[in-house]
Amino acid sequence: MGLSQEEKERFLKALEEDWEFRNAVMGLLGIQELLKGQAEILKVLTELLNGQRELRDRVGKLEEGMSRLERRVDRIDRTLNRVTAALEDEANDVVTYYLRQRGINIETGSVRLNSVYEFDIYGTNGQLTIVGEAKTRVSKRMVERVVARVRNAVSAFPSKFPGRVITVIYSVKADPEAVEEARRQGIWLLESVKERTSFPG
């Protein structure tokens, strides 16, 4: 059975005016618990928002750091390219000089045969072909790798290697084992403008 209009009005008036009565009704309806739950949810949401803000700040700093690192790597890459180009130029100048000292007129330079075979030093006069690499430091393993690459390139592109093929390695620094390996394999090794092994005769 429902409340009469008069009872409803008295009930609403009591809710408006009587604080204790209102709290008692709210307690019965579980509103206080609901409000507490909402307060907890609000607290958690606030913490999440703060965490998100902090994370956004950290990501922003990380992006700035990455950008600085990319710029630094780019500068190092450009410097390395310049140094490599300068080393290749020096290598070809020295090789050409020593060839002329022997009465051999061959201008050398870098060559790209395909995506696999590219050499820093290359030149031919039809009777003699000079081919090899310019490296800052040469180890025994490096000598073996260059020998194998030249051998494979000659096999793949015989027309590019007419006459006698001489493998040359130019280096700023050559390990003693590299010198021995170059001598053993008959490789012309030049170190900082000096001939470390004899020109193959």
In a domain, 42, yes or no: no
Asked, for residue 22, whether it belongs to a domain, the answer is no
Mean pLDDT (the chain) is 86
Domain membership of residue 24 (yes or no) is no
Q: How far apart are CA 170 and CA 183, in angstroms?
A: 14
Quick check: 154 and 132 in contact, CB under 8 A?
A: no
Domain count, the chain: 1
- For 193, phi and psi rounded to 5 degrees? 65, 10
> pLDDT value at position 42?
80
What are 132-149's pLDDT values in tens digits? 999 999 999 999 999 999
> According to the model, what pLDDT value does residue 29 have?
67
CA torsion, points 110, 113, 117, 123, in degrees to nearest 10?
-40
Q: What is the pLDDT of residue 153?
A: 97
pLDDT of res. 82: 73
| Residue 23 within any structural domain of the chain | no
The answer to whether position 53 is within a domain reads: no
Tell me, letter by letter, the H, E, C secondary structure of the chain: CCCCHHHHHHHHHHHHHCHHHHHHHHHHHCHHHHHHHHHHHHHHHHHHHHHHHHHHHHHHHHHHHHHHHHHHHHHHHHHHHHHHHHHHHHHHHHHHHHHHHCCCCCCCEEEECCCCCEEEEEEECCCEEEEEEEEEEECHHHHHHHHHHHHHHHHHCHHHCCCEEEEEEEEEEECHHHHHHHHHHCCEEEECCEECCCCCC
71 in any annotated domain: no
Question: Tokens in use for 175?
Answer: 């390990």
Residue 50 belongs to some domain of the structure: no
What lies within 8 Å, CB to CB, of 113 at 6+ separation is 119, 153, 156, 157, 160
* Residue at 66: amino acid letter: M
pLDDT at residue 32, as a whole number: 65
Output the six-digit token pair for 94.
């020295």
The predicted pLDDT at position 84 comes to 67
Residue 118's closest CA among 137, 128, 101, 132? 132
Say if 12 falls within a structural domain.
Answer: no
> Which domain range does residue 109 map to?
87-195
**Lookup result for tokens 């012309």:** 188
In this prediction, residue 70 carries a pLDDT of: 82
CATH of residue 108's domain is 3.40.1350.10
- Tens digit of each residue's pLDDT, the chain (201 residues): 677 888 777 777 777 777 777 777 676 666 667 667 777 888 888 888 888 888 888 878 888 888 887 888 777 777 666 766 688 999 999 999 999 999 999 999 999 999 999 999 999 999 999 999 999 999 999 999 999 999 999 999 999 999 999 999 999 999 999 999 999 999 999 998 789 998 987
